[in-house]
């Protein structure tokens, strides 16, 4: 009996340690799937084929600047999990990047567990994580020192800056259908330099996620994808899958995560001041907000 009790005690202790580790384990925003020599276009085609074979739907993609391709993919778990929480649609797609860096091609994707916690979703997308790893590979998580699930669910960059549940309300309409129609029309027109990359409809809910490209020049450069990434994506392993930006239609309202949250959640270790810092893109949050609001039929000062 004593031996059995000792064994049960050891099992309980091991289980307790495992649970403690799970609660304390840090997550990072991106996963490096592979890197090595190769042709960018061929690697992109191979990546799409592998994802499709693994059951993902490629919703769309774009090349925001030379040597870079980003696609948005979704599956049943992403869409159904997104439906279970308020504005969970922000997590209805995984962004996958194929980036040429010197003589190598890097394939990376947004870490499903990291984003699920950052977007306060009802689950950590374990099935999606396993399928991505099987389809594309997994060398390491990267992009930050890391945050625990608990830290991610209450994350904001610093005092006075926005949380996940403080998005910009860009516009309101009479119905979900009207809101989606207005967003589609605004993106198709592209008058503010904002155009559609992909669309994902959340399962069983009046909620739609749009991935959007942003292109600006001169006084509008602060909302431009290339400009933004040239300032903050400066490490050897590229965080290209930060792109594209998001617009979410939920019921009759059109939302975007404020840039001080949306950028910071991808680059939580970026310094406030100095070279390659948030200070260098200080004008970007307001430029992005205004461009998105005007695109979807809202007012320039929409909050």
In a domain, 7, yes or no: no
Residue with the larger pLDDT of the pair 271 and 91: 91
Tokens of 95: 């962004």
pLDDT (0 to 100) of residue 303: 80
Model confidence at 53: pLDDT above 90? yes
In a domain, 291, yes or no: yes
* Whole-number Å distance between alpha carbons of 193 and 290: 11
The single residue listed with the structure tokens 């990267």 is 142
Model confidence at 286: pLDDT above 90? yes
Q: Tell me: the pLDDT tens digits for 128-159? A: 999 999 999 999 999 999 999 999 999 999 98
pLDDT (0 to 100) of residue 24: 67
DSSP state of 147: B
pLDDT (0 to 100) of residue 3: 42
CATH label of the domain that carries residue 128? 3.30.310.70
pLDDT (0 to 100) of residue 29: 98
Percentage of the chain beyond pLDDT 90 is 84
In a domain, 78, yes or no: yes
Q: Tell me: the pLDDT tens digits for 218-267? A: 889 999 999 999 999 999 999 999 999 999 999 999 999 999 999 999 99
In a domain, 165, yes or no: yes
Report the candidate in 109, 35, 40 with the shortest Cα–Cα distance to residue 74: 109
Q: Tell me: the pLDDT tens digits for 159-208? A: 899 999 999 999 999 999 999 999 999 999 999 999 999 999 999 999 99
- Starting at the edge strand that comes first in sequence, how are the strands of the sheet with 207-214 ordered? 168-172, 253-256, 245-250, 207-214, 194-201
pLDDT (0 to 100) of residue 16: 39
Model confidence at 96: pLDDT above 80? yes
Tokens of 121: 């979703």
pLDDT (0 to 100) of residue 275: 83
Report the candidate in 200, 202, 300, 303 with the shortest Cα–Cα distance to residue 258: 303
Contact between 69 and 40 under an 8 Å Cβ cutoff? The reply is yes
pLDDT (0 to 100) of residue 219: 83
Q: Tell me: the pLDDT tens digits for 6-20? A: 433 433 433 433 333
Could you tell me which residues are beta bridge partners of residue 32?
Answer: 108, 140
Model confidence at 108: pLDDT above 50? yes
pLDDT confidence tier of residue 276, bands split at 50, 70 and 90? confident
In a domain, 13, yes or no: no
Q: Output the pTM of the full model.
A: 0.91
pLDDT (0 to 100) of residue 109: 98
In a domain, 278, yes or no: yes
Q: What average pLDDT does range 86-106 have in this prediction?
A: 97
Contact between 116 and 125 under an 8 Å Cβ cutoff? The reply is yes
In a domain, 9, yes or no: no
Contact between 229 and 243 under an 8 Å Cβ cutoff? The reply is yes
Contact between 109 and 78 under an 8 Å Cβ cutoff? The reply is no
Q: Which helix (H) or strand (E) holds 99?
A: strand 94-101
How is 243-273 classified by DSSP, letter by letter? PSEEEEEETTEEEE--HHHHHHHH-TT--SS
| Domain ranges, residue 53 | 26-295
In a domain, 223, yes or no: yes
Domain count, the chain: 1
* Whole-number Å distance between alpha carbons of 169 and 269: 27
Q: What average pLDDT does range 44-52 have in this prediction?
A: 98
Report the candidate in 130, 125, 138 with the shortest Cα–Cα distance to residue 76: 125
pLDDT (0 to 100) of residue 300: 86
pLDDT (0 to 100) of residue 21: 38
């Amino acid at each position: 009996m004593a031996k059995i009790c000792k064994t049960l005690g050891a099992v309980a202790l091991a289980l307790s340690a495992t649970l403690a580790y799970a609660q304390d384990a840090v997550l990072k925003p991106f996963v490096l799937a592979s890197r090595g020599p190769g042709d960018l276009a061929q690697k992109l085609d191979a990546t799409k084929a592998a994802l499709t074979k693994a059951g993902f739907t490629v919703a769309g993609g774009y090349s925001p600047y030379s040597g870079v391709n980003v696609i948005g993919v979704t599956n049943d778990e992403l869409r159904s999990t997104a439906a279970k929480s308020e504005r969970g649609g922000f997590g209805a797609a995984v962004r996958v990047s194929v980036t040429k860096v010197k003589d190598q091609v890097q394939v990376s994707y947004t870490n499903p567990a990291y984003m699920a916690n950052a977007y306060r979703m009802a689950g950590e997308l374990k099935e999606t994580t396993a399928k991505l790893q099987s389809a594309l590979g997994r060398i390491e998580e990267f992009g930050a020192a890391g945050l625990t699930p608990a830290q991610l669910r209450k994350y904001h960059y610093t005092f006075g800056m926005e949380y996940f549940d403080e998005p910009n309300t860009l516009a309101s309409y009479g119905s979900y259908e009207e809101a989606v129609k207005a967003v589609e029309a605004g993106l198709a027109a592209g008058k503010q330099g904002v155009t559609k990359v992909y669309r994902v409809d959340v399962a069983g809910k009046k909620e739609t996620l749009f991935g959007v490209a942003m292109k600006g020049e001169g006084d509008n450069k602060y909302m431009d994808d290339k400009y933004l990434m040239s300032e903050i994506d400066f490490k050897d392993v590229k965080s290209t899958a930060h792109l594209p930006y998001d617009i979410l239609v939920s019921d009759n309202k059109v939302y975007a995560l404020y840039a001080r949250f949306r950028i910071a959640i991808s680059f939580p270790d970026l310094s406030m001041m100095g070279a390659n810092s948030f200070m260098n893109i200080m004008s970007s949050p307001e430029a992005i907000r205004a461009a998105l609001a005007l695109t979807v039929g809202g007012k320039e000062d929409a909050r």
